[in-house]
Structure 1
Amino acid sequence: MDIKYTFSTMISVDYYLAHPDMYEKDRNWVLMLNQYLKKHTDALLTPESLNERSFEIWHREKFLDREQGKNILILENKDPFFSMRNYLLNGHTEIFGAEIGTLIYGAGKGIIRSFQDFDLCAEPYMKHPENTIYYFGDLDYEGIGIYENLAEKFRSRWKIIPFVPAYQSMLETVNTKLRQAKQAAEDAFQVPQKYS
Structure 2
Amino acid sequence: MESVKRQLAGFGRKTIRLAELEDLMNQLLHTYEDFAEAVLQMENEGILDMVKSKGRTSRVPSLAFQYRINKSYLAKNHHRQLQQYRMSLHPLINIDYFYNQDPSVWQKNLEYIIKLDHYIKSEGLPTESVPAPERSFEIVGDEKWITEKGGKELLERVGLFNRLNIIPVSEPLMFAINSNKVNDSKQNHLIVENKATYQGLLPALPETMFATLIYGAGKAVIKSIEQFPLQYPVEADHEFYYFGDLDKEGISIWYSLYNKQPIRLALPFYMACLEKEVATGKEYQRENKEAQDAFLSFFKLEQQHQIYSLLKNGYYYPQEVLKTRELQRIWRESNWTS
**TM-score category by the smaller chain?**
0.3 to 0.5
- TM-score (ref. length: structure 1): 0.46
- TM-score (ref. length: structure 2): 0.27
Greater CA radius of gyration, 1 or 2? Answer: 2
